[in-house]
Amino acid sequence: MKLAIITIFVSLLLVKYCFATSGNLDISSFGGKPNSDISKALSSAWTQACASTTAAKVLIPSGTYQMGALELKGPCKAPIEIQIDGTIKAPANPASNDVASQFLMIGNADSITVSGNGVIDGQGANTWKQNDCHKNADCKGFTMNLSFKFLNNSIVRDLTSKDSKTFHFNVISCNNFTIDGLKISAPDESPNTDGIHIARSSSVKVINTNIATGDDCISMGDGNKNVTIENVVCGPGHGISVGSLGKYKDEESVEGLLVKNCTFKGTLNGVRIKTFPNSQIQISVTDMHFEDLIMDNVENPIIIDQEYCPLVTKCSTQSPSKIKISNISFKNIKGTTKATPEGIILACSSGVPCQGITMADIDLKFNGAVAKAKCTNVKPTITGTAPTCDA
């Protein structure tokens, strides 16, 4: 009789364990309750999902939760989906995450899906008041909402990120990575709240996403290859930027970018490539194409700036940038510019002038008149309707 009872008990445990490792792992089963800190519960659910030999889903149901900075790392044995349907709030006090550069980091894994109708709330208002990075090169770093590192064949979709202390999404060293259907928001005056930053990654797609921030909607660092940005609405913010590049000695070239069917509303810039003068390294920016774009009251719709030198950075414009820019096209770009008559500024390096720059079918207006193009160290090829360059 005792043996039979023990056998039944062990069987029930095995059934429960197998169901958990291959099915839905609700954080409530690990002690995660609304209006409480779910750091431990989410970490435990991830650990079990990561050990599963079959696909697993970690579920954060509807409700409002708190959480401290957390890292969820692989490698894992099978695909994992993290479905976030609740609101997860970061500590409002920036000192609470002093040692963490990211609020939630997911990394070192394959076939990861992060989905749901939930919200990651960085509660960054108090941090923005303390952020002096625009005038202090030795400023204190703050916590970004979400960071993805060393992920392959993965997707993030449908989430909302709001009021991050700095960057909302950071994508580093990922391959075949898709961002689809996100909503990203922070006030126009919030500093350094880039919507999505991408670096050292390949085959990345950002699609069907709305971004409103106090900095770049999307920024691309060095080492990226084959990035597609499509059906993105940007504004407010600083536009979509490649760079800045050339500040550090270990940077890598950037190759392959398509920005298509995007709308910019009241942004500081539209599409921009920026490199430091007196750059530390000789790398290239090549094979980039910007097409089918709407500029709605944008200060600088199209800009290449190879003398990028913000006040906070110690750099000299006396030596030209060593970054080689080539094979860049701007096609079918329409709308209005609000800052100056120059809707197009191509300020290329005198050391390595831009090559293979094409402008086609560009219709930008400033106060009702055709916007101008100002070009230095470049002779763009113009097809269709587009302004010719003034020196």
Catalytic residues: 238
User: How would you write the chain as a 3-class SS string?
Assistant: CHHHHHHHHHHHHHHHHHHHHHCEEEHHHHCCCCCCECHHHHHHHHHHHHHCCCCEEEEECCCEEECCCEEEECCCCCCEEEEECCEEECCCCHHHHCCCCEEEEEEEEECEEEECCCEEECCCHHHHHHCCCCCCCCCCCCCEEEEEEEEEEEEEECCEEECCCCCCEEEECCEEEEEECCEEECCCCCCCCCCEEEECCEEEEEEEEEEECCCCCEEECCCCEEEEEEEEEECCCCCEEEEEECCCCCCCCEEEEEEEEEEEECCCEEEEEEECCCCCCCCEEEEEEEEEEEEEEECEEEEEECCCCCCCCCCCCCCCCCCEEEEEEEEEEEEEECCCCEEEEEECCCCCCCEEEEEEEEEEEECCEECEEEEECCCCEEECCCCCEEC
Mention every residue, 6+ apart, whose C-beta is less than 8 A from residue 57. 23, 24, 25, 49, 80, 81, 82, 83
CA dihedral 376, 378, 384, 390 (to 10 degrees): 20
Q: How far apart are CA 305 and CA 290, in angstroms?
A: 16
